[in-house]
Amino acid sequence: MRYKIDGGQLPVVICRLDAGESMITEKGAMAWMTPNMHMEMQGTGGLGKSLGRMLSGDTIFQNRYTAQGGEGEIAFASSFPGSIVALDISQGPVVTQKSAFLASEAGVNLSVFFRKKAAAGLFGGEGFIMQKLEGHGMAFIEIDGSVTEYELGPGQQLIADTGYVAYMSATCSIDVVTVKGMKNIVLGGEGLFNTVITGPGKVALQSMPIAKVAQALAPFTVSGK
């Protein structure tokens, strides 16, 4: 499979497949394709796995696209202005924000990831339930805005405002801490909690969390007047 990502802040990933190669995606992500791409809907495993996917914001079923009779092309478009990031899952499992998954090669497995500490999900901004990608092959995920990556060493930490963690290596851990000082909480404008990511592994931060966008637009909507 070969791919290229086009479109700037309204991105699309265009994948070129050899005969017999397949891609899997969430419902509605396909933008265009050549006529020899065959689509079939498939389940995602047993009841437990299906329920987990529902909790993480995904559908029970996925669409599988296979090139038949020769090379085929298929494109998957992002649902929100931002970035599409290509991840080689063969290098190790990756944990992503809820509903980040866009498409992948057939060898990538998508499952639900529960944070060990409930507080990290209830107050951390990324949710108690996240997504885990493992297996082998390339996966493509959606990022809100642009992405900045850091490589953390063992025990090295990074503090982020809630909602800014896009994805991280499964070797990283995540928790929340309370902002210190009542004055900072009341006047600082940063809320009550921050997210703490601890290495080793890679962590990627997004510049425009959709929740922040919704908050900024609220005063201009009918309900926000």
Give the contacts of 208 (CB within 8 A, at least 6 positions apart). 81, 82, 144, 145, 146
Q: Is the full-model pTM beyond 0.75?
A: yes
- Listed in sequence order, the DSSP H helices in 26-177 are 47-55, 118-123
Return the DSSP state at 153.
Answer: P
Among candidates 68, 1, 6, 71, which has minimal Cα distance to 40? 68
Give the pLDDT confidence score for residue 117 in this predicted structure. 56
Q: Which mean pLDDT values do the consecutive 10-residue runs of the chain (225 residues) have? A: 93 97 89 97 60 56 94 94 95 92 94 65 58 96 94 96 91 82 47 84 92 76 59
Structural domains of the chain ordered from first start: 2-216 (3.60.160.10)
* Sequence-distant (≥ 6) Cβ neighbours of residue 222 within 8 angstroms: none
Can you give the pLDDT at residue 51? 54
73 touches 15 (CB < 8 A): yes
Question: Are 192 and 185 contacting, i.e. CB atoms less than 8 angstroms apart?
Answer: yes
Whole-number pLDDT of residue 41: 87
- The pLDDT score that the predictor gives to residue 159 is 93
